[in-house]
Amino acid sequence: EPEVTQTPSHQVTQMGQEVILRCVPISNHLYFYWYRQILGQKVEFLVSFYNNEISEKSEIFDDQFSVERPDGSNFTLKIRSTKLEDSAMYFCASTTGRYESNQPQHFGDGTRLSIL
Amino acid sequence: GQNIDQPTEMTATEGAIVQINCTYQTSGFNGLFWYQQHAGEAPTFLSYNVLDGLEEKGRFSSFLSRSKGYSYLLLKELQMKDSASYLCAVRDSNYQLIWGAGTKLIIKP
């Protein structure tokens, strides 16, 4: 079964440094998402992406965050200057179509980001 | 504001049945999803409801009442591997998923 893949599985970074988290969505999927989950807390929506542009973003997704689809397969989340509170698990998800009612989002295994 | 409520934690016995409830208040409704999440892993899709009623899928069933803003996930013949968090998520009028905090289910032998 096709999978969403994310790299790295764990990223440790000094505060203030830039990080790029990488995702390869399922190949025939058109909508891509980033979520984060702080340890022990709920999944939080960050951003959705379609047709090479952001569809929606949450209040969390401020100017320090950006997303890109640099080629036909990768989907990246960049955090420009990391803060301690950015420490979380970051999940990438994809789905075939935003409006297709019964299509779930498929999640990658996540990247655990630890900011020191 | 948008809100999804689930119990924080539930305990059940191997072989038994457990019902995990979810109530929601969202801006619009375009379906409700249940996901399972083992500790440190990604959420995996379990079920989807958009019309009122019961959807059955093997040992798992999910029920929806849109008028009451209520859903439940029913797990039968519980196995130890069912110990996980169960996340209720509602797709709102912008087709964005709004997540509950999850219910941690502990299965005892």
Q: pLDDT tier at B94 (50, 70, 90 boundaries)?
A: confident
Does A107 sit within 8 Å of B43, measured CB to CB? Answer: yes
Mean pLDDT confidence for A2-20: 94
DSSP B38-70: -TTS--EEEEEE-SSEEEEETTEEEEEETTTTE
Cβ atoms of residues B42 and B48 within 8 Å: no
CA of B96: how far to CAs of A36, A66, B59, B92, in Å?
Answer: 14, 19, 28, 5
pLDDT per residue as tens digits for the range B15-55: 999 999 999 999 899 999 999 999 888 999 999 999 999 99
Asked whether the beta carbons of residue B89 and residue A41 sit closer than 8 angstroms, the reply is no
Who contacts A106 (Cβ-Cβ below 8 Å, separation ≥6)? Answer: A2, A3, A4, A26, A29, A93, A94, A95, B45
Put simply, whether A25 touches B (Cβ < 8 Å) is no
Judged by a CB distance cut-off of 8 A, whether residue A114 touches chain B is no
Rounded distance between C-alpha atoms, residue A65 and residue A88, angstroms: 14
DSSP reduced 3-state for A103: coil
Give the pLDDT score at A62: 94
Pair B77, B61: CB distance under 8 Å: no
Residues pairing with A37 in the sheet: A43, A89
Please report which confidence band the pLDDT of residue A100 belongs to, taking 50, 70 and 90 as the band edges. Answer: low
Average pLDDT over residues A50-79: 92
pLDDT surpasses 90 at A88? yes
* Contact across the interface for B45 and A106, Cβ inside 8 Å: yes
- Provide the pLDDT confidence category of residue A20 given band limits of 50, 70 and 90: very high
Q: How far is B84 from chain A (nearest CA, A)?
A: 13
